[in-house]
Amino acid sequence: MSQPAFNCLRCSQCCHGEGGISFEQGEISAAAALLGLSAREFVDRYCQPRQGLYFIKTNQDGDCALLGPKGCLIHQAKPRICRRWPFFDALLRDAGAFEEAKLYCPGLSPEASYEDFLRQYRAERGGEDQQP
Ligand code: SF4
Ligand code: SF4
């Protein structure tokens, strides 16, 4: 593999869109601490608790409330769902879903094959479980 199948360009395109990004319970305090807030203040300001998860609010333009002018405000403690992309179960199991994701995420190389993608996943993240 000469170049990686995925190399994040930090375009923040994946930080737009309504309501699908959530923290799990144990992830809140680290994110809050990065912003100098208590967990309660952080949840009140940025989250909508629902079904045991903390969904991040979006602003009127549909951007994640934690997206700042220079990117993610909590980059070092962003939720698992953000850290895992694009190595989601759905893409790892379905070559068609991987091809579709290329249209959405410019960090996925158009030339990369599904096998390249799986190879990178195994090399970089092979020990992780696969959800989401
Ligand atoms: S938490 Fe950060 S990385 Fe995740 S969607 Fe929001 S701004 Fe983007
Ligand atoms: S859309 Fe892809 S390239 Fe852009 S920030 Fe998200 S993961 Fe990175």
Nearest CA to ligand 1 atom 2: 72
Compute, in angstroms, the gap from residue 32 CA to the centroid of ligand 2: 23
Cα-based torsion angle of the residue sequence 50, 54, 59, 65 in order, rounded to the nearest 10 degrees:
180
Residue ranges making up the domain that contains 60? 18-77
What integer pLDDT is reported at residue 129 of this predicted model? Answer: 58
What integer pLDDT is reported at residue 66 of this predicted model? Answer: 96
User: Is 64 within a domain?
Assistant: yes
Q: How many domains does the chain have?
A: 1
User: Is 108 within a domain?
Assistant: no
Cβ-in-10-Å burial (0-12, 13-18, 19+) of 68 comes to middle
Tokens for 3, please give them: 């170049």
Each residue of 12-26: pLDDT tens digit?
999 987 668 999 878
User: Is 30 within a domain?
Assistant: yes
Backbone angles phi, psi at 56, to 5 degrees: -80, 135
What integer pLDDT is reported at residue 130 of this predicted model? Answer: 56
The band of 73, judged by pLDDT with boundaries at 50, 70 and 90, is very high
Of the ranges 31-35, 59-63, 106-110, 124-128, which one carries the lowest mean pLDDT score? 124-128
Alpha carbon distance 68, 18 (integer Å): 17
User: Is 106 within a domain?
Assistant: no
Amino acid at 122: R
Compute, in angstroms, the gap from residue 82 CA to the centroid of ligand 2: 10
User: Is 119 within a domain?
Assistant: no
DSSP state of 108: B
pTM: 0.86
